[in-house]
Amino acid sequence: ASMMMHYGYTLYPVLGETENIKITTPSDYYMFTGIIKNRELGGLKDE
């Protein structure tokens, strides 16, 4: 995003899922499994 703004592009943010993560590191995987476990227990609800 910073590079696009540097070159004069106008960016329009779009709201999306707060859990939209990419799994590229071990810590990302643990975050993902935590989200899934929490959701299974009813902790996170879709809005």
What average pLDDT does this structure show over 9-37? Answer: 87
- Work out the percent of the chain whose per-residue pLDDT is above 90: 43
The pLDDT of residue 39 is 83
Structure token digits, residue 45:
């609800």
What average pLDDT does this structure show over 25-34? Answer: 92
What average pLDDT does this structure show over 8-34? Answer: 88
The pLDDT of residue 19 is 67
**Residue 45: band (very low, low, confident or very high) from pLDDT cuts 50, 70, 90:** low
Task: List the domain boundaries for the chain.
Answer: 16-47
| Total-model pTM | 0.47
